[in-house]
Structure formats: structure tokens, C-alpha cells
């Protein structure tokens, strides 16, 4: 008994000293650009910002470098190996294997195995240096802006990405950043045209059409760009608020949506942008083209807005659970998967008729 007592006293003492001693030589946390994302059961319920399809597989990206993939139309998710832990904002796939994901701090990641493992191709530091080099080369007046980016370091996010093929992709982001690759990401080329054309306003989204890209962004920013991002032009500005998304519909029309329930539709050529009435003052933050010319938009308050007439009118639809949405993905069978603030939910096909 005495022995036990002694032991417990010793244990108590050692517990006290270990707390007081603390460690003087402390470990340091790796930079978020080099800290691999942690696998967590919470990832599915944490913020997700975009979703893409790689053949039969769904791949979604989000906060803390989370990338999840599902082979059963979004029922069960597995977490990918990701070398960074910044918030990821966009994902796209060129085919069933090859894709890119972009995110904060100028991160561009690539995968060759349908999203199970990812490699870092670009970060904000390298991106800024590339911009300065490009500005010097072209003797551009944007050199000063580019140099400021280098000074700021890697703190600007990419916000969207488009994959054209396994070799070609375009990433766009804050302050008019745009980079493209022609060689599968071995080299990412900055676009001074985007920086200038947007007057360094955020580019929030892009969509591809046969004639090139349509970009949507901050403060009424609607732009047209060629495939090489060599020429970026401001389109008519029907609205001074920000656009968060843009869709190019099958009939050639372009639909841009954004702040406080604003939706505009453009039928191309000389037509004007027409405002479409949507009965909400919430920002529209996600959109997808569905079968049969149907369009689904979703807002920051978790409501869906459904159109069967190519975006001329919308009615409200409800998702299974309600949170702020960031992206939508039509599924086989007619359901639409929605991702956002609290992970994944879905709009059921029966509600979309």
C-alpha cells in the first residue's frame, strides 16, 4: 500500500512538472502550401466549394485542402491525398483521369488518377514571379501591379478553373488573375490581358462556349475572352453588383447570376442583357445546366431556383437540407447534388419537373 502511495505521489509530481516544464524547443507548423490535408470524418460536412465529374466519379473540393471523391453518385465519399491545406475553390476534369483543382494562395493542383492523388503545379509565390517576368517581357504598364503581387506573397486565390483537354486548362481568380497551360501544367502562363481587361477586379467564374470564354466577376464584371486568354474584353455592364456565376446554355444564350438575386440573360450577338425576375434578395451563388434546357440556380440561403424555359423564369425548389450553396452537379437519374457550407445535399428529381 505504501508502495502504491509512493507511486501515485510520484506520478502526480511528474504530471505537475511535465506541465510546468513545457517544451522550450517547439515544433513549427508547416506553411499551408506544404502542409498535406488531414483525412477527417468531418470533411464531408465541412465547406465544399466546387464539384466536377471524372467519368463515373464525382470529385468535390473544399476547405483545408479537402478533396473527396464518390463512385456511387454521391452516396459515399473518400478523401484524396492532397499536398496542401489551403481552401480549394474550383475543380475540373478533362477526362476520366486528368483534372485540375485551384484554390487560395495561388494553388493549382493536378491529378492523373481520377482525383485520388494530387500534385502541386503552381503556388502564389511562383505565380507572382511569373507575372512580373511576363510584364517585363511585354514591357507592360502592369509591371508595377505585378511587382506588388510579389511583395504581397501568396495570398490571392484562384476562384475557378476550366479544363479543355488533358493538356489545356485555364484558371481565373481574384484581382483579375488568369493563368493557362498548354502542356498539362508543366508551365502555367499568366494572362496580362485578363489582369488589364478586368481592371484587376475579381473573376468569380468562367464558362466556355464555341466562340471562347465568358467570364463573370466583381462589380458588374462580365467579360468575353478568346481561348488563349490573350484578349479579354468588358461586355456591356447591365448591373453594377457582382456576378458569382455564368452558364452558357445549349441555345447559345449566356446566363449570369449574382448578388441579391440578380439574373441576366444574353442571347448573343447584338442583343441586350435582359434581367430575369427571381423572387429573392439572396445572392445566387451556384448554377447548373440540366437535361431538357432546364436550369437550376441556388442561393446563399440554401434555396434552389428552377427554370424549364432556358432561364426566362424561375421558381423556388427545396433541397433536402438547407445551407449556403456553392456548386451544383446533375446526377444520373435526375437528382442534382448540391455542395456548400455544410457539405453535400441534393435536390430530388421529383422536385425538378
Q: Secondary structure of the chain in the HEC alphabet?
A: CHHHHHHHHHHHHHHHHHHHHCCCCCCCCCCCCCCCCCCCCCHHHCCEEEEEEECCEEEEEEHHHCEEEECCCCCCCEECECCCCCCEEEEEECCCCCEEEEEHHHEEEEECCCCCECEEEECHHHHHHHHHHHHHHCCCCCHHHHHHHHHHCCCCCEEEEEECCCCCEEEEEHHHCEEEECCCCCCCEECHHHHHHCCCCCEEEEEEECCEEEEEECCCCEEEECCCCCCEEECCCCCCCCEEEEEECCCCCEEEEEHHHCEEEECCCCCCCEEECCCCCCCEEEEEECCCCCEEEEECCCEEEEECCCCCCCEEEECCCCCCEEEEEECCCCCEEEEECCEEEEECHHHCC
> Which neighbouring-strand residues pair with 27?
none
We find the least distance from the C-beta atom of residue 141 to another protein, in angstroms, to be 25
Smaller CB separation from another protein, 15 or 277: 15
Smaller CB separation from another protein, 7 or 230: 7
Smaller CB separation from another protein, 229 or 341: 341
Q: Which residues bind another protein (CB under 8 A)?
A: 1, 4-5, 8-9, 11-12, 15-16, 19-20, 22-23, 26-29, 32, 38, 40-42, 47, 49, 63-64, 86-87, 89, 104-105, 152-155, 157, 159, 202, 204, 218, 239-242, 244, 259-260, 283, 285, 300-301, 324, 326, 340-341
> Residue 34 contacts by C-beta under 8 Å, 6 or more apart in sequence?
83, 84
We find the least distance from the C-beta atom of residue 241 to another protein, in angstroms, to be 4
Q: What are phi and psi of 48, to 5 degrees?
A: -115, 145
- What are 313's three cell numbers? 423564369
Smaller CB separation from another protein, 202 or 346: 202
We find the least distance from the C-beta atom of residue 55 to another protein, in angstroms, to be 25
We find the least distance from the C-beta atom of residue 62 to another protein, in angstroms, to be 9
Smaller CB separation from another protein, 294 or 329: 329
We find the least distance from the C-beta atom of residue 102 to another protein, in angstroms, to be 10
We find the least distance from the C-beta atom of residue 59 to another protein, in angstroms, to be 16
We find the least distance from the C-beta atom of residue 231 to another protein, in angstroms, to be 26
Smaller CB separation from another protein, 115 or 258: 258
We find the least distance from the C-beta atom of residue 282 to another protein, in angstroms, to be 9
CA-closest candidate to residue 123, choices 79, 157, 161 = 157
Smaller CB separation from another protein, 14 or 56: 14
Smaller CB separation from another protein, 22 or 353: 22
We find the least distance from the C-beta atom of residue 175 to another protein, in angstroms, to be 11
Smaller CB separation from another protein, 179 or 239: 239
- What are 297's three cell numbers? 440556380
CA distance 145 to 128: 10
Amino acid at each position: 500500500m505504501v508502495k502504491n502511495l509512493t507511486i501515485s505521489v510520484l506520478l502526480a509530481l511528474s504530471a505537475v512538472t511535465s506541465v510546468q516544464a513545457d517544451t522550450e524547443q517547439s515544433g513549427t507548423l508547416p506553411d499551408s502550401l506544404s502542409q498535406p490535408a488531414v483525412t477527417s470524418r468531418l470533411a464531408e460536412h465541412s465547406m465544399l466549394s466546387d464539384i466536377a465529374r471524372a467519368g463515373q466519379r464525382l470529385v468535390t473540393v473544399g476547405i483545408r485542402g479537402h478533396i473527396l471523391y464518390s463512385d456511387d453518385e454521391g452516396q459515399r465519399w473518400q478523401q484524396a491525398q492532397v499536398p496542401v491545406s489551403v481552401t480549394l475553390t474550383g475543380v475540373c476534369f478533362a477526362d476520366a483521369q486528368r483534372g485540375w483543382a485551384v484554390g487560395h494562395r495561388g494553388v493549382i493542383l493536378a491529378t492523373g488518377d481520377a482525383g485520388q492523388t494530387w500534385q502541386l503545379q503552381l503556388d502564389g509565390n511562383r505565380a507572382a514571379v511569373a507575372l512580373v517576368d511576363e510584364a517585363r517581357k511585354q514591357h507592360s504598364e502592369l509591371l508595377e501591379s505585378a511587382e506588388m503581387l510579389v511583395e504581397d506573397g501568396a495570398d490571392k486565390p484562384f476562384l475557378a478553373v476550366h479544363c479543355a483537354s488533358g493538356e489545356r486548362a485555364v484558371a481565373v481568380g481574384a484581382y483579375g488573375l488568369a493563368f493557362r497551360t498548354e502542356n498539362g501544367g508543366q508551365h502555367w502562363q499568366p494572362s496580362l490581358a485578363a489582369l488589364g481587361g478586368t481592371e484587376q477586379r475579381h473573376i468569380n467564374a468562367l464558362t466556355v462556349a464555341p466562340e471562347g470564354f465568358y467570364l463573370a466577376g466583381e462589380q458588374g464584371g462580365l467579360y468575353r475572352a478568346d481561348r488563349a486568354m490573350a484578349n479579354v474584353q468588358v461586355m456591356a455592364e447591365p448591373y453594377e453588383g457582382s456576378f458569382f456565376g455564368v452558364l452558357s446554355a445549349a441555345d447559345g444564350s449566356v446566363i449570369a447570376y449574382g448578388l441579391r438575386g440578380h439574373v441576366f440573360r444574353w442571347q448573343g450577338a447584338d442583343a441586350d442583357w435582359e434581367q430575369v425576375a427571381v423572387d429573392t434578395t439572396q445572392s445566387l451563388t451556384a448554377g447548373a445546366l440540366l437535361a431538357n434546357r432546364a436550369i437550376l440556380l441556388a442561393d446563399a440561403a440554401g434555396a434552389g431556383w428552377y427554370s424549364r424555359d432556358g432561364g426566362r423564369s424561375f421558381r423556388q425548389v427545396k433541397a433536402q437540407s438547407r445551407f449556403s450553396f456553392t456548386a451544383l452537379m446533375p446526377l444520373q437519374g435526375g437528382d442534382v447534388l448540391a455542395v456548400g457550407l455544410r457539405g453535400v445535399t441534393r435536390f430530388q428529381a421529383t422536385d425538378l419537373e
